[in-house]
Structure 1
């Protein structure tokens, strides 16, 4: 009998040796956690065969989310709350953090500067480091400076479109479309009387990851409507999307090279328009993009002092740098010992800035986190009225009518565009091939 008891005790200790390497299956501990808090888990990770050392000791009876952090960090996983009853378990992502981490980052940044002088020392240092970490100047030294290939000007109702292709690096090209105002004579006279020059504002429009790329309906509606109201607008293909995909291949986009090439293309287009279009008002240069295009809107304000007004849309957060390497592949967030997109766009102060956010994506935190931080910085300049937030709590991640209207209104205010011509029903939405350059594209092999 004694030998049986000893054998059982030895076996129990082998399975539950708290002083050694007690383990429990990942599946079992997550089932226990789910039952305890009455929640479900959705997995974007492979959990087969995983075992967790000291699993039960990682449970915090007062906090489900701290418990999940303790469990997930062992496997380099992370948790994301979908709703009150569902959590998603995902691999660790370097550009994505929890909202409370964003709050702590903004508190840290506030502690670095309490006045304009301290802020500007930080701003100038971080901006230089961003350029270096992005590596854009190495690429700019290799620019071809070729004459662009311009397509036929197509006349629409109050605007024109013209495709543009520029060889940037040897054998590599950017592909875009220029939307230009085409007012009738009475409107033209009215605009000339209003600004005294007859010149147009310019808005550079980096694209995001919405289906259809820059050829989609909402992008055409937005750029054409801006043009009808008096602003020249230019968009261009994401690296590895649209015609760029034909040149680089479909796998090229999710690379850190995309991050710098997209920033480079925006600068090349701005340089071309600035130097060659005599109808552009150099005092009214803006940038506006949504989602990933919003990330590049922020980046362009950091890189180029010619920008006078900016409207990043459904992208800004202190806790999310952009989920694609084309937004966060180069380590620019390490500049200055650590920064975030909210601080990067704060460097734009005191120039006019509008942040459009919604309740259905990571920008839900803007009214309570990022916007107050921007007001704090703009306060150094006595310019809190120059930063605005249009928050749409009932909407989700898109570039829908209310988001477009918010940006129409913003650029009407800051650039004096003609709001009476804000009518999307006048826009002709065309097939993608109409907005593409008719040039021979040769496959690029990158080393």
Structure 2
């Protein structure tokens, strides 16, 4: 009985503290995000566009304390704790969005690049920076050391013959049971060593099966160049092994990087390949991949990232920024990574309707300065199309053809009409199933092929431990 009296006494003594704690919780000025946004609209006479799903079950603590003299300051205070932001769509209108780690303001991006650029001032100090960044990038990608290559031969489909070029589909095993698929375009007739262009595409629908991708690779082949287009991870035929949502994971960047390295290994094993003329060009997310590959793999001698490079945009997909590559050696960005291609020829194709809109103003002069360290500022070019948008359209492809022809010593007249204009009409656009390696229904997928994200993680972990027991 005495024990219960003690409990009762303690409860009586603690009751004020319990009440105070409850009152403290009740008075943290916690309000629903919807109510706060509605008050902001009323108080500042603005319109904020949002959906019910965006604000559902979201609350802001100390909401009333977050209001300031201006609407922009208030929105920043209110939205930061819930990982959201707004885009300004008019003089007094806004649109609610999730916080975008990959999108900075133009001013912040430029300031970051300027601070990075202070780390070097000539070719020697720049080369020292590169010597630190390159191994750091491999480490950030969990590819240091590289996993061993499977002891298997590529799976190659019968060759299709067209006007001036051929196509064959190829699957390369890059880890045990993990395949990367693509199509290899070759000139129909050639002598001696010929150049190669890797063609990673971006997040556009149908990716390497798209008409514009086929036009680009076939036209390069008709000029006298091999061109290899390949699937993104968990896109295209990769969906035979994974779900589409697996692409939105960090390992996507690792797989795509390792896949490109293994593709280069294979292409350089061909007797007709000229290792001194190996290039890469992709658009959008494929452009980010282009920049990364040219930065980490010195075998690449020419690069052409399209509608991708910007000091204030880091790539909006985990396959571009899912691994901490931008945190290397105190921080870097995609423009500095693009500079790591110097002094090899590089073409940046940009437009006026995405994050590359300001390339000529700030980022390109920086790249010219880096190339200038080598006395080769003429080897970096920018084709800026201010009235165009985010695609790999005809004018962008034409710029690529001319750049590749000039630097790889190819005959561009082979794809020109009598008036000297680029003519892609001789290219045969294949139906998608014809570009599959594993059949219309995946019936030829090897029996040892892994399936599922969890299995991939296990295979990668095993391959990594084999190369580095301390991992």
Q: TM-score, normalised by structure 1?
A: 0.86
Q: 1:155 to 1:383 in 2, by over 3 A?
A: same
Partner of 2:358: 365
Partner of 2:197: 203
> Does the 8 Å contact 1:145/1:168 carry over to 2?
no
Residue 122 of structure 2, aligned match among 102, 115, 136: 115
Matches within 5 A, 1:311-390: 311-390=304-383
Q: 1:49 to 1:158 in 2, by over 3 A?
A: closer
> Does the 8 Å contact 1:26/1:52 carry over to 2?
no
Q: 1:110 to 1:67 in 2, by over 3 A?
A: farther
User: Is residue 408 of structure 2 the alignment partner of residue 401 of structure 1?
Assistant: no
Query: How big is the shift at 1:226?
Result: 0.7
**Unaligned stretches of 5+ residues in structure 1:** 1-16, 193-197
User: Is residue 262 of structure 2 the alignment partner of residue 257 of structure 1?
Assistant: no
Q: What is the SS of the residue equivalent to 2:353?
A: coil
Q: What is the SS of the residue equivalent to 1:425?
A: coil
Show CA shifts across 1:41-90 (max 9, x none).
345732556345254654343xx544432332132212233455543322
Q: 1:393 to 1:55 in 2, by over 3 A?
A: farther
Q: 1:342 to 1:37 in 2, by over 3 A?
A: farther
Partner of 1:440: 445
Show CA shifts across 1:181-231 (max 9, x none).
114xxxx5xxx6xxxxx4211101112111012111110011001111111
Residue 68 of structure 2, aligned match among 28, 47, 59: 59
The number of equivalent residue pairs is: 413
User: Is residue 88 of structure 2 the alignment partner of residue 81 of structure 1?
Assistant: yes
**Unaligned stretches of 5+ residues in structure 2:** 1-23, 416-422, 439-443, 459-471
Partner of 1:230: 224
Q: 1:132 to 1:214 in 2, by over 3 A?
A: same
> Does the 8 Å contact 2:30/2:59 carry over to 1?
no
Show CA shifts across 1:318-362 (max 9, x none).
122211111111111110111111111111111111111111111
Select between 342-351 and 362-371 the one with higher mean Cα deviation.
362-371
Residue 150 of structure 1, aligned match among 156, 159, 163: 156
- Say what the alpha-carbon RMSD is for the aligned residues: 2.3
- Tell me the distance in 1 between the aligned counterparts of 2:199 and 2:390: 18
Q: What is the SS of the residue equivalent to 2:360?
A: coil
Q: What is the SS of the residue equivalent to 2:305?
A: strand
Partner of 1:416: 409
User: Is residue 217 of structure 2 the alignment partner of residue 212 of structure 1?
Assistant: no
Partner of 2:274: 281
Select between 377-386 and 302-311 the one with higher mean Cα deviation.
377-386
Partner of 1:13: none
User: Is residue 39 of structure 2 the alignment partner of residue 46 of structure 1?
Assistant: no
- Tell me the distance in 1 between the aligned counterparts of 2:171 and 2:383: 35
> Does the 8 Å contact 1:321/1:328 carry over to 2?
yes
Partner of 1:7: none
Q: 1:34 to 1:372 in 2, by over 3 A?
A: farther
> Does the 8 Å contact 2:32/2:57 carry over to 1?
no
Show CA shifts across 1:302-328 (max 9, x none).
221011110000111112221111111
Q: TM-score, normalised by structure 2?
A: 0.82
- Tell me the distance in 2 between the aligned counterparts of 1:352 and 1:133: 26
Partner of 2:237: 243
Q: 1:54 to 1:239 in 2, by over 3 A?
A: closer
User: Is residue 161 of structure 2 the alignment partner of residue 178 of structure 1?
Assistant: no
Select between 430-439 and 306-315 the one with higher mean Cα deviation.
430-439
Show CA shifts across 1:128-157 (max 9, x none).
11110101244x323203111111111101
Query: How big is the shift at 1:31?
Result: 4.1
Select between 310-319 and 31-40 the one with higher mean Cα deviation.
31-40
Partner of 2:297: 304
Partner of 1:128: 135
- Tell me the distance in 1 between the aligned counterparts of 2:72 and 2:347: 33
Q: 1:37 to 1:143 in 2, by over 3 A?
A: farther
Query: How big is the shift at 1:23?
Result: 6.1
Q: What is the SS of the residue equivalent to 1:373?
A: helix
